[in-house]
Structure 1
Amino acid sequence: MAEPSRGAGGLRAALSTPAGPPRFLLLSSFLIPLGSFMVLPFMSVFLHERLGMGLGTVGVVLAVASLVQFSGGVLGGALADRIGLRRTMLWALAVRTAGFGCFLACLVWPPVAVVALVLTCCGAALYLPANKAYLVHGVDEERRPVFLSAGNAALNAGMALGPLVAGPFVLSSPGPLFLVVVVLFAVVTAGHARLPAAGGDGVPAAGAARQGLLSGVAALPFAANALAFYLYFHFQHFLAVYAVRRASAEFYSVVLLLCFVLVIVVQPLASGLIRRMPYALALAAGFTGLAAGLAVLAIGTRPALLAGGALITLGDIVLFLKNDLEALRRSPRSDAVVFGQQRLAAGLGACAAGVLGGQVYGLGERSGHTGWFWLLAAAQCLLLPPLLLTLRGRTAAPGSAGDDTEGTTAPHDAHGRVPGR
């Protein structure tokens, strides 16, 4: 999707297809992140402010949830091969609906919030691989990028709109908000039950090479992706607590909206440039953008929150895409395995950010100087990436002679969002 006009045309083409299942899945690709992001981006502030959890505990909970959501995608793909795409999606949505139902229960018994968060993340991990595979099932090779691009656009639109809709209610009226999300997921689950089974559903894949999940891993892109997600998730996990206290939940939603719009607009326009960019230059530019954005957040004003979020997003647009492209180029494994390995790296990074970041942010809050949290994260953006150079010489692709300018364009989602994010 190198040109905006082609991306828009692809979205129109996918939506106008006479086949009902792809159109329903595209609608679901909007509704599912819409419902999820009415709740999940506010988890740090909800757990801390509403349920009274310490920030250290909040960080550990978010770390475990992130690790499950990102890394579990590898198991989701394996489950889809075993029981079929439609069944996997149904199980995933049932788990996720139960998770959001548990958020209602946590208003009476707060510890249930941990179970709720883990369940919703398990559901996401199981759903995404099966959803993408079903979306392109039976679609010829030329039209597959069209459907994947349309699904990605719908995904990001839902993620952008969810926080904006829920911002005024997540702290003041969480019960009705959680109930709305539960009903939304129940309706989407019922719709998936009416989908026809894809050809070969439930027939285990045969003939696949018996290799370990990490065999053939491209070490430098794997490590760079883990580090990028570790640094980015300081922003993802803890901006809510920081921004809501300095502005409001509504303004925090605006910051997230800006970040999602930048991903939707800038990433397709810049994808060709990022593909051609030498890997070392991409790493330098991306981590510098992260450092600048995190440092700006320390100012704490509303303009600083917007500017910091924008700079962080621009840095991650470069890092997340280039790391995936380099992993595809350097690894001998299939594309699916490579993306699974990169997803694992993302989960490890996000987990580390939750565990370590929660402790550091808690110290900053107790001392009354949370701005130092962002400055420390910014310093890590400058100090840690040079360590990656120790992997560079040992992980270049055969015959590349250290040339990092080649890449392979492949479909991917916005934060790896998360995306992430």
Structure 2
Amino acid sequence: MKGPESAGSRTLTGPQLFLLGGSFLITLGSFAVLPYMSVLLHDRFGLGLGVVGVVLAVASLVQFSGGVVGAALAARIGLRATMLVALAVRTAGFAAFVPGLTRPVVAVAALFLVSCGAALYLPANKAYLVAGCGHERRPGLLATSGSAFNAGIALGPPAAAPFVLTSPAGLFTGVAVLFALVGAGHVLLPSVADTGGGVEDTAVEGKAVEDRAAEADGVAAGAVAGSRLPPFAFTVLAVYVFMFFQHYLALYAVPRTSTAFYGAVLMGYAILLVVAQPLLARRLAALPYATALRLGFGSMAAGTAVLALGGRAGIAVGAVLLCLGEIVLFLKNDLEALARSAAPSATVFGRQRLAAGLGAFAAAAVGGQLYGVAERAAAVPVFWLVVSAQAVVLPALLVVWVGGSARRRAGDGPVAAHRPR
């Protein structure tokens, strides 16, 4: 395969094309199985819903937060080697589901193996994809990678639906073989160095990062710099708000519309995400960070508020607005974190995965309680209004807290020492 592209190249290299295709196949295989785990654990193995919930929550936390471990491994053994280890672990996990069909403990262990493999793979995958690329190429590459992942997410569940309950052993075997083949393809990838975050780029790019960061707060020089708005924290909040939609839309939408309509909404959401994200990538990259935050969280706030209206129109429009919020926030936070850090790219992406895991875990812990209260009060639409309010209030509180912290640090600096007593 052709090696990494030069910073100015506009074409995809062979390794990049392979990784994008592999991203689609990996998520296609994963989401042929993972969305049905609650059904298998509960209906086939007889585990209580409480136990199933705990297993899935912990597995999700491992899959997200384990990205920091994947980043550390990439720093030690390299990007390609880390991806190979990760795919070997995931292949073993899916293969272990076959004996796990008669042994619940083995099935749970297989699920954790799959989650560990995902945690190891994604930071190295993203870092390899953008290795050797300048700022102008990263938005398009990361957006296209996201589209490949989301296409697999959209197609995996319907592709596996006819087999998951009737012939699960064949399904698990097929997915394990798919992962083994994708892993074999990774052996042919050339080794590349993790070129690190944006502050190690050229002086021109570094100046652009500083200018963009200064604009992000919309304040004059000497006030709180935009670079103080932390992408890690805003990723936690973005995923936290989004996961309410992810977890509870089905409970809300199906009784008010139909299963077919809910499926159509999910399919439309996935198609919009796959198509729009690459098209908007360069414009999003050019947006000041604070503007992107306002647009993204504003879209999520509006979307969840519209969901409270119920009905087909409210649910469809709310989903479109939430899709826009996801496109803006998820991509912009990754780009901003990458541009501001001198750490290896895999380390940056690992931290971002940890942030996503914290947000998802918090949403799971809070969302069930909130939805239960709203349901018992026969006021489920109020649940979405509460989520909408959080999408406005929490980011604003974080901005205020960051600004206050910056002013306190400035007050304790060298200038403060010379103020008249």
> What's the TM-score, normalizing by structure 2?
0.70
Which deviations, in whole Å up to 9, do the C-alpha atoms of 1:309-340 show, x marking residues without a partner?
Answer: 22211122222233334445655656554443
1:317 equivalent in structure 2? 327
Which runs of 5 or more structure 1 residues have no equivalent in the other structure? 1-8, 202-207, 209-216, 398-421
Matches within 5 A, 1:337-356: 337-356=347-366
Q: CA deviation at 1:31?
A: 0.8
Q: Is the 8 A contact 1:286 1:316 kept in 2?
A: yes
Contact kept? 1:289, 1:311, Cα under 8 Å: yes
Match of 2:179 in 1: 185
Quote the offset at 1:45 in angstroms: 6.0
2:92 is aligned with 1:129: no
The 8 Å contact of residues 127 and 346 in structure 2, kept in 1 or not, is answered as no
Equivalent residue for 2:65, pick from 65, 71, 79: 71
Q: Is the CA contact (8 Å cut-off) linking 1:59 and 1:356 kept in structure 2?
A: no
Partner Cα separation in structure 1 for residue 169 and residue 49 of structure 2: 23
Which secondary structure state, in structure 1, belongs to the residue aligned with residue 230 of structure 2?
Answer: helix
Distance 1:100 1:376, change over 3 A: farther
Q: In the aligned structure 2, how far is the partner of 1:260 from the partner of 1:382?
A: 25
CA contact (8 A) 1:99 1:116 kept: yes
Residue 229 (structure 1) shift: 0.7
Is the 1:228–1:319 Cα contact (8 Å) retained in structure 2? yes
- 1:279-318 correspondence runs (5 A): 279-298=289-308, 301-318=311-328
Match of 1:393 in 2: 403
Alpha carbons 1:99, 1:120 under 8 Å: kept = yes
Change (3 A) 1:246 1:150: same
- Of 2, 8, 29, which aligns to 2:23? 29
**Residue in structure 2 matching 1:83, options 77, 83, 102:** 77
Query: What code does the residue aligned with 1:323 have?
Result: N
| TM-score for both structures, normalised by structure 1 | 0.70
Q: Which residue of 2 aligns with 1:198?
A: 191
Q: Equivalent residue for 1:407?
A: none
Shift of 1:347: 1.4
Q: Which residue of 2 aligns with 1:97?
A: 91
Say what the alpha-carbon RMSD is for the aligned residues: 4.1
Q: Which residue of 1 aligns with 2:208?
A: none
Counterpart among 147, 154, 158 of residue 148 in structure 2: 154
* Among 229, 232, 250, the residue aligned to 1:222: 232
Q: How many residue pairs are counted as aligned between the two chains?
A: 367
Larger relative helix fraction: 2
SS at match of 1:80: helix
The structural deviation recorded for 1:226 is 0.7
Aligned counterparts of 1:277 and 1:329: Cα–Cα separation in 2: 14
Q: What is the CA distance between 1:222 and its match in structure 2?
A: 2.3
1:220 and 1:395 in contact (8 A); partners too: no
Change (3 A) 1:52 1:183: same
* Distance change (3 Å), C-alpha of 1:326 and 1:365: same
